[in-house]
Amino acid sequence: MKTSLNGKIAIVCGSTSGIGRACASLLAKKGASIVLAARNEEKLISTINNLDGEGHSYICADFNDPDNLRKKAIDHLNKIGLIHILINNSGGPPGGALIDANTEEFEIAFKRHVISSQILTQLVVPGMKKNKYGRIINITSTSVNRVIPGLGVSNTIRGAVSQWVKTLAIELGSYRITANNILPGYINTNRLKNLLEDSAKKKNITYGQMVNETEKKTALGRIGLPSDIASAVAFIASEEGGYITGANLSVDGGRFGV
């Protein structure tokens, strides 16, 4: 099966690095026009210059500032019109024990992962309804299924995102709009590298040893690549993925343990 996204327009958030950039790249290769969304304009320009195809654009906004995001997104969407695919993706909250987290950490994470996603969804859904086609895809975490020690704020916010998506799936299904969560496992990103470096220090082992321990916690015996997540996203975003909604899809190489 060779999925095609010809004629589709996709907003990809957090699209200048890691999973977001891999998603933008693959969707562009499959024919979609991409609206990149991130806060660093220099990185946005660099990313857009490396995408296949044409008709790409970007929104430069900070997801920690939802009001600014709303304004910039409205201005941009007024120019390009209909959006078929929305990929909500943003950097995860810092690690740490839940009991030690301050309220500001929760507020920032909620703005970034729930409020900003809600804003973008409200902006794109009217066009999706009119077109009878829409894909809302959130990149979250396997902590939705099993909490990860040391990621207290993240565990909490990811749970909220999961329920948000499941509710959307029910509300929007009759318009042929799907809403799903992708749950990455151990994926080779800067965030995972930082988490593994911290874990290695706490265990008094080398970073290489920590990577080896982590690989052994997956059935496939390896850390995943951003492209592994992008492949799942591309399928769900396509016509072929149209009967999947309200799902928490783990893409984790058969991760087990913590």
Instruction: Indicate the pairing of strand 85-88 with strand 9-13.
Output: parallel
192-220 pLDDT tens trace: 999 899 999 999 999 999 999 999 999 99
Q: Is the same domain home to 132 and 24?
A: yes
Is the residue at 254 inside a domain?
A: no
Segment 112-143, tens digit of pLDDT? 999 999 999 999 999 999 999 999 999 999 99
Amino acid in position 9: I
Domain match, 107 and 216 both = no
Same domain, 166 and 216: no
Sign of dihedral through CA atoms 236, 240, 242, 247?
A: negative
Strand order in the sheet with 85-88: 57-60, 33-38, 9-13, 85-88, 134-139, 177-184, 248-251
Domain that residue 198 falls in: 187-223
User: Taking the model in full, what pTM does it have?
Assistant: 0.94
How far does the chain reach from its first CA to its final CA, in angstroms? 34
Inside any domain, residue 213: yes
The number of folded domains in the chain is 2
Please state the length of the chain. 258
